[in-house]
Amino acid sequence: MKVAFLSDGRDWSYRIAEGLAACSGKRWKLALIVTTSDGNFPKGPLEKLGTEIRTVDHKELVDIYNGGAFGDYDVLLFYGWSWMVPKELVEGKLCICLHPSPLPRYRGGSPIQHQIINGERESAVSLFRMTTGLDTGSIYKQRAYSLEGHLGDVIGRIGDVGLGLTLEMLDEMVEKRSKPLVQDESKATTYKRRAREESELTEGQLDRMSGSEFFNFVRALEDPYPNAYVRLVDGVAILKRVEPVRHADAVGVLPVNKLRSMTKEEFARVVKGGATILCSDGECVSIKEAVVKEQLPT
């Protein structure tokens, strides 16, 4: 069985690609990895494992398919692919997508961010057959993972769980034991991809956010995603990392609704001194890393 892997270069997808390349053998072979021109896959280790690497523009996918590039491939894995896959491919090939949510819940864009911001504590990696619908195809494999910790921890779990599930799925396909399950439409929820401006903590949000909600919002938007930010009097404060505070002294605690009334200089001074933010429910959050800018990076 011949397998191709297509990705835009996310860290968790690279972890899976490298693991698949290392396990590629007689039963199934990962023969090709396609990355987009704006991706950043380290090619050397994969090429040493005998896998061809091809870099393309995602808009060329139909032309590549029509040109016969996937003619003898049995399975196309779209892992960390940010664009709609053309109808020609999903109807002409067995295309499998990894979606980091418990489908049919959290279909659509930015699933990790939406789940964390909504206060979910556990999610699932879902491997499903791609169709012309948005994340609606039958599920081949699904396994839970934790959403606790910082975003890097969560992404690491997705890579680990995703690799294990994919290896199981490919073996089941070879042995003709696959039993994909149709999604239950009555349980479906769909979200849009988050826009850059949605990373702003507005005055209304700051006034009503609990400490856990503040922490979840910031950690959901840690690098490499557009970070959470607060507009100051003369600039913006980009929040890169915060931590919950179990016990805070009254001295030095800053009410969260005071953030937007600060200047860049005042905010930088407070953060340097170890800023502890008091939220609406009495919980506190410590700002561990922040960047002050005159305006948001483009």
CATH 3.40.50.170, the chain: domain bounds: 2-191
How high is the pLDDT of residue 270? 85
Count of CB atoms situated within 10 Å of the CB of 134: 13
Query: Helix, strand, or coil here: 160?
Result: helix
Architecture of domain 196-293: Roll (3.10)
**What region does 106 belong to: left with phi over 0, alpha with psi -120 to 50, or beta?**
left
- Report the distance separating Cα 103 and Cα 81, nearest Å: 17
Question: Residue 36 pairs with which residues in a beta bridge?
Answer: 56
Instruction: Give me the residue label for tokens 């990355």.
Output: 35
Amino acid at 246: R
CATH 3.10.25.10, the chain: domain bounds: 196-293
- Report the distance separating Cα 297 and Cα 238, nearest Å: 10
**pTM of this structure:** 0.93
Beta pairing class for 228-231 and 122-129: unpaired
The length of the chain, given as a count of residues? 298
Cβ pair 146, 121 in contact under 8 A: yes
How high is the pLDDT of residue 36? 82
How high is the pLDDT of residue 257? 87
The fold of the 2-191 domain, in CATH, is: Rossmann fold (3.40.50)
Q: How buried is residue 168: exposed, middle or buried, by Cβ count under 10 Å (0-12/13-18/19+)?
A: middle
Q: Which residue has the higher pLDDT, 200 or 253?
A: 200
**pLDDT at residue 112 greater than cutoff 60:** yes
Span 223-233, average pLDDT: 95
Taking only the tens place, the pLDDT of each residue in 12-42 is 998 999 999 999 988 999 999 998 866 667 7
Q: What percent of the chain has pLDDT over 70?
A: 96
**Closest-CA residue to 170 (of 98, 238, 109):** 98
Q: What percent of the chain has pLDDT over 90?
A: 71
Taking only the tens place, the pLDDT of each residue in 245-293 is 876 554 568 888 889 999 999 999 888 877 889 998 989 999 999 999 9
Lowest mean pLDDT of 1-5, 42-46, 170-174, name the range: 42-46
Taking only the tens place, the pLDDT of each residue in 71-103 is 999 999 999 888 888 899 999 999 999 999 999
